Structure 1
Amino acid sequence: MSDGTAGPIDVLVVDDHPVFRLGVRTRLSAEPDIVVVGEADTGAAALELVERTAPDVVLVDLNLPDIDGVELIRQLGAVAPRTAPLVLTMLSADAVTAAVRAGARGYLLKDAEPGRIVAAVRAVAAGDSVFGPQVAARLLGGLDRAMPDRMAFPDLTGREREILGLLADGLGNATIGRRLGLRSKTVRNYVSNVIGKLQAADRAEAVLRARRAGLGESRPGLPPTGGRAEPDR
């Protein structure tokens, strides 16, 4: 993996169509600042290669034979939080909201111009987010319906709101840190800031207020997906 300031961008291509993988590899390899470090045709093979090669970017097709790409993106967030998943798929843009919630940094359809794919790889490697025009329109529409009112907690920064949402999903500090690529101490500091800004008595009250405002996937007062919330670690 490059250090973000020097060296090439290491890319892993995950797609079950060998001809498409060859085309993407050939196009990316023509760029002096991009190196394709491997190819995978299944999610399991992709995870194994990620552990071996630590790529900066993983190009992910959502239609894989063993697990779907959204689940692969979730697992990448756990095992390689510094790797940026970039979706490149033929599936409808309807899937974009699920992919973004799972941790995708970008979402392009396979009919995107090759130059746009190259630019997207560079952008997500630099920490930006990239979405094709059709995808962006669908994403904005989905977020308008699925996300809570942004003014519910106007004093929170974007990162604080993101962490509050993960708290509302029942995640502990250690899991949040792995997902966001942050140290546990940094997460604890964010949580303390959130509790202070919400003027909540404690973490539990902050989570309850977040769920009532629509953050997280759970109904107010219930642990996420009907299970037990993770302990604070």
Structure 2
Amino acid sequence: MSDTGAGPDSAVGEDSTAVLRILVVDDQALMRSGFSMMLGVEPDLEVIGDAADGAEAVEMCRRLRPDVVLMDVQMPGTDGIEATRLITAEALSKVLILTTFDRDDYLFDALRAGASGFLLKNSDPEDLVDGVRAVGHGHALLAPEVTRRVIERLTTPVPSDGRAPSPAGAGSRPPSLDLLTARETEVLRLVARGLSNAEIAQKLVVGEATVKTHVSACLSKLHLRDRVQAVVLAYEAGLVQPGE
């Protein structure tokens, strides 16, 4: 599992010494218990509660204000996507989505709803712990081995006539992209391809601090919360094509 940012792109949770408060949300009691035990043994993580559905999760977030919500997607009643939308709209917490990729066609919607990243339910325990830490400290967490597949599946339309699909994002270029400099646009493309700040710096032969400045400028000018939203916008706008 990988954090696509070498440094946080938001001010949330930048104190790496603080104990992160976690809310676990899943409709299966066994899963909630298992995740809670895995996270609870870490000295810098504290599980402050768990919820069985999205509505309960939103209520608990309003009351407890956790740093990170570990959110299942498919739940009865209010599902994880709607709960994520409500939680992020009120800036109650960062949300890390848990999903079974082969069965979950709602992942992309969850990211668009405001999730800061996602993990697979069959991830190794250390990946779960690292993922929670990354999101809690302000990073956008993207799993490189599945992010490209998700974007290809959900940003490439399938025409009803069976012809080759048109480019993702064709005709949907936001006017705000014109506010970016040529270098900022280049950085945005590299972010969308999953490169970290360090990898972008190496590719462009500049310092990491310079890359971070460009990323921050992109997020500010495009009114985006984090790198996850930047990736989504870049693909939808056609700056990057699936499979590149």
- Shared fold, TM over 0.5: yes
Shift of 1:143: 4.8
The share of aligned pairs that are identical, in percent, is: 33
Are the equivalent residues in 2 in contact too, given 1:42–1:64 (CA < 8 A)?
yes
The correspondence for 1:89, drawn from 95, 99, 107, is: 99
More displaced, 133-142 or 43-52?
133-142
Aligned residue for 2:138, secondary structure, equals coil
Task: Give the whole-Å Cα distance in 2 for the aligned partners of 1:140 and 1:91.
Answer: 12
Counterparts in 2 of 1:101 and 1:161: CA distance versus 1, 3 Å: farther
Output the amino acid matched with 2:118.
Answer: Y
How large is the RMSD of aligned CA atoms in angstroms?
2.9
Matched, 1:127 2:138: yes
Task: Give the whole-Å Cα distance in 2 for the aligned partners of 1:43 and 1:7.
Answer: 27
Matched, 1:55 2:66: yes
Aligned counterpart, 1:117: 128
Shift of 1:162: 3.4
Task: Give the whole-Å Cα distance in 2 for the aligned partners of 1:43 and 1:91.
Answer: 19
More displaced, 66-75 or 135-144?
135-144
Counterparts in 2 of 1:17 and 1:70: CA distance versus 1, 3 Å: same
**What runs of 5+ residues in structure 1 fail to find an aligned partner?**
166-179, 182-212, 216-233
Task: Give the whole-Å Cα distance in 2 for the aligned partners of 1:3 and 1:161.
Answer: 22
Aligned residue for 1:98, secondary structure, equals helix
Task: Give the whole-Å Cα distance in 2 for the aligned partners of 1:107 and 1:39.
Answer: 18
Cα shift readout 1:167-216 (whole Å, capped 9, x = no counterpart): xxxxxxxxxxxxx59xxxxxxxxxxxxxxxxxxxxxxxxxxxxxxx969x
Counterparts in 2 of 1:95 and 1:3: CA distance versus 1, 3 Å: closer
Q: Which has the higher contact order (CA 8 A, sep 6+)?
A: 2
Task: Give the whole-Å Cα distance in 1 for the aligned partners of 2:137 and 2:13.
Answer: 10
Aligned residue for 1:153, secondary structure, equals helix
Aligned counterpart, 2:45: 34
Output the amino acid matched with 2:99.
Answer: T
Task: Give the whole-Å Cα distance in 2 for the aligned partners of 1:14 and 1:162.
Answer: 31
- Report the TM-score when normalising by structure 2: 0.60
Are the equivalent residues in 2 in contact too, given 1:12–1:37 (CA < 8 A)?
yes
Aligned counterpart, 1:169: none
Aligned counterpart, 1:162: 222
Aligned counterpart, 1:153: 177
Aligned counterpart, 1:104: 115
| Higher helix proportion | 1
Task: Give the whole-Å Cα distance in 2 for the aligned partners of 1:127 and 1:70.
Answer: 20
Output the amino acid matched with 1:30.
Answer: V
**What runs of 5+ residues in structure 2 fail to find an aligned partner?**
1-11, 157-167, 181-216, 227-235, 239-244
Are the equivalent residues in 2 in contact too, given 1:62–1:91 (CA < 8 A)?
no
Aligned counterpart, 1:8: 19
Aligned residue for 2:112, secondary structure, equals helix
Are the equivalent residues in 1 in contact too, given 2:25–2:51 (CA < 8 A)?
yes
- Report the TM-score when normalising by structure 1: 0.63
Shift of 1:107: 1.0
Task: Give the whole-Å Cα distance in 1 for the aligned partners of 2:221 and 2:54.
Answer: 30
Cα shift readout 1:100-147 (whole Å, capped 9, x = no counterpart): 110011111101111101100000111111122443112442457248
Task: Give the whole-Å Cα distance in 2 for the aligned partners of 1:50 and 1:82.
Answer: 6
Output the amino acid matched with 1:135.
Answer: V
